[in-house]
Structure 1
């Protein structure tokens, strides 16, 4: 155990910080807000953290792919707004079923990503310029779809339920048990495989400690979220894990598998690390870049659908305002490098939690918008500074 801790500290000093700053920041923020405003840890507020940060987290998950290849997408926020507008028009105005409207929104996002990727990869236009132009253009597209700002109500129970409904307490506990058992199995199988192959691995005590810690956290959250949250339980009861939690969890598992267990994921990291070296190794760099933008805009579409369901409406502000900045901030704060080649899908989730905690905590403290923006911007700047310093440290120690 001691040797493991020393090796871990050596890696941290060498620049391999990963998600450590985000985790520490999350602990500090929750502790401060919980002490100043104890209501922060109330069941209702904890549930709100998951639903309020869902759109930003989902868009950030898509942005991780683009950041990993060393590019940027400044249009992801308004792209999600355009896709949400497509959902609203087809669902409410034309009476499409929810699954057809969702498919139309996701296809729209895929086409958007394909166009952006082609302009960046095939025409060689910097992604900053392409997506900045798209950032401006999609505002106009969204207004056109909404007829210059018309609000479209979303009444479909499935779409609204994704953003607002809760699982039953029984299903919530079943979900918690499944996650704990699954995490335990993955950790133990990974340890046994690496140990059998003679590959350097964590001591079994560290693996067990990790399993116990994660299991305790999940059990605590399940317990809190299955408590009664309604102001007047006699008229209505509000219990259970928000539906959006397993939705994000499934996407996290899928994209983590893609990045860590497939050749495509290895190619993403290779292109982000050194595009020319990847090209010489036989990787189709252009195809990888195009696919990253497609995934990013596709996830933006999913984020737009979730936002439309949460708000039960679509308007010109959907996907606008600070959504893009928060999404990019979530990915970077979580540990994804702005320089490409380094990051994980869990970074988007951790960063999204940090953003949600800041926004929620500032609201509980009755702080005005200016203070909220200053603190969020400062946290993002610190995250970017840690990224730059850790990368420089890693280069020096090689």
Structure 2
């Protein structure tokens, strides 16, 4: 008889089912179709950011700058369009900024060997400061009508599913294909599992580490465009919010090991569904924002403790990593 295997992913999925069923049975209005579609739409951006964070965490890093990567390049795109720049040029500037940002993060971490936690904390503050000081005329940049060619990414629906949810699904499928079918994806797992072993085996560890942060930055600006299209503006002060903790919560709670080399897209989806269900239930119950933060903090702490049990660091895994 095969030994029954308990995983963090399985536990989280069971908790999601129990929480969802409990809210559906005892919380009036939760199980309505409109509310469920709203739930999915509200967490779609969080899920997309979780995909970007998962690439970094699987490779044994962390990216605290993802909210700045969401807000500043996409806000700059809207600002440039308001200033009269053409769509291709404005998109090229925004994507170019994200690309440079990811390359700088990756180079500092991979080649200068600055810990990823401190690198991304500093770079996120720098990018946010640049946006506030030089890029934006107002804190909330409105969506210009000249950019409506991209508005479909965050507005309307496809087969009854809100477009932000569709974008999350397409992003998840693309990342799953990258991680499971492409050589670079396998290298990320190898580096996260044993960086010194991967380097000894001849894998291009430093370029792959740079690739991780470039991907995270590009996924960030994609999430920003989807978000701006859905709410018809980009509130650039979002980089001062607690959203980055929600992204970390999705990744860790979903079961992606902080020790690296484990997890995937399914973990992000499960984590997103659980967090979305929890936040939606607390909103319906009219739980205050401060209390919601307390609950999320406790859940994050429990998730980290559970991760330390299911993904313990041994002598090899403790040799490198910031988290």
Residue in structure 1 matched with residue 289 of structure 2 by the alignment? 369
1:354 aligned to which of 274, 277, 299 = 274
Alpha-carbon distance change, 45 to 320 in structure 1, aligned in 2, over 3 angstroms: farther
Q: Higher Cα Rg: structure 1 or 2?
A: 1
1:72 partner SS: coil
1:304 aligned to which of 215, 224, 228 = 224
Residue in structure 2 matched with residue 36 of structure 1 by the alignment? 26
1:58 aligned to which of 44, 48, 53 = 48
Deviations 1:217-259 (A, max 9, x none): xxxxxxxxxxxxxxxxxxxxxxx11122332222212211111
- How far off its partner does 1:150 sit? 5.0
Alpha-carbon distance change, 300 to 387 in structure 1, aligned in 2, over 3 angstroms: same
Residue in structure 2 matched with residue 163 of structure 1 by the alignment? 154
- How far off its partner does 1:317 sit? 2.3
The question of whether the paired residues in 1 share the 8 Å contact of 2:98 and 2:221 is answered with yes
1:25 aligns with 2:25: no
- Residues 380-389 or 66-75, more deviating: 380-389
Residue in structure 1 matched with residue 179 of structure 2 by the alignment? 259
Residue in structure 2 matched with residue 340 of structure 1 by the alignment? 260
TM-score of the two chains, using structure 2 as the length reference: 0.90
Point out 4+ residue stretches in structure 1 off by more than 6 angstroms: none
2:129 aligned to which of 132, 140, 147 = 140
The question of whether the paired residues in 2 share the 8 Å contact of 1:358 and 1:376 is answered with no
Residue in structure 2 matched with residue 317 of structure 1 by the alignment? 237
* Whole-angstrom CA distance in 2 between matches of 1:375 and 1:317: 23
The question of whether the paired residues in 2 share the 8 Å contact of 1:152 and 1:314 is answered with yes
Deviations 1:273-326 (A, max 9, x none): 111110000001101110001001111111111111121012322444122111
Alpha-carbon distance change, 137 to 331 in structure 1, aligned in 2, over 3 angstroms: same
The question of whether the paired residues in 1 share the 8 Å contact of 2:68 and 2:128 is answered with yes
* Whole-angstrom CA distance in 2 between matches of 1:135 and 1:146: 16
- How far off its partner does 1:164 sit? 2.9
Alpha-carbon distance change, 250 to 158 in structure 1, aligned in 2, over 3 angstroms: same
* Whole-angstrom CA distance in 2 between matches of 1:154 and 1:24: 44
Residue in structure 1 matched with residue 64 of structure 2 by the alignment? 74
RMSD (Å), alpha carbons: 2.1
The question of whether the paired residues in 2 share the 8 Å contact of 1:84 and 1:318 is answered with no
**Structure 1: gaps (5+ residues):** 173-239
Residue in structure 2 matched with residue 121 of structure 1 by the alignment? 110
Residue in structure 1 matched with residue 95 of structure 2 by the alignment? 106
The question of whether the paired residues in 2 share the 8 Å contact of 1:307 and 1:318 is answered with no
Residue in structure 2 matched with residue 392 of structure 1 by the alignment? 312
Deviations 1:175-225 (A, max 9, x none): xxxxxxxxxxxxxxxxxxxxxxxxxxxxxxxxxxxxxxxxxxxxxxxxxxx
- How far off its partner does 1:339 sit? 1.4
**Structure 2: gaps (5+ residues):** 316-323
- How far off its partner does 1:35 sit? 2.8
- How far off its partner does 1:369 sit? 0.8
TM-score of the two chains, using structure 1 as the length reference: 0.74
1:41 partner SS: coil
* Whole-angstrom CA distance in 1 between matches of 2:155 and 2:278: 21
Alpha-carbon distance change, 129 to 86 in structure 1, aligned in 2, over 3 angstroms: same
The question of whether the paired residues in 2 share the 8 Å contact of 1:154 and 1:308 is answered with no
* Whole-angstrom CA distance in 2 between matches of 1:21 and 1:384: 14
- How far off its partner does 1:139 sit? 2.1
The question of whether the paired residues in 1 share the 8 Å contact of 2:8 and 2:307 is answered with no
Alpha-carbon distance change, 103 to 349 in structure 1, aligned in 2, over 3 angstroms: farther
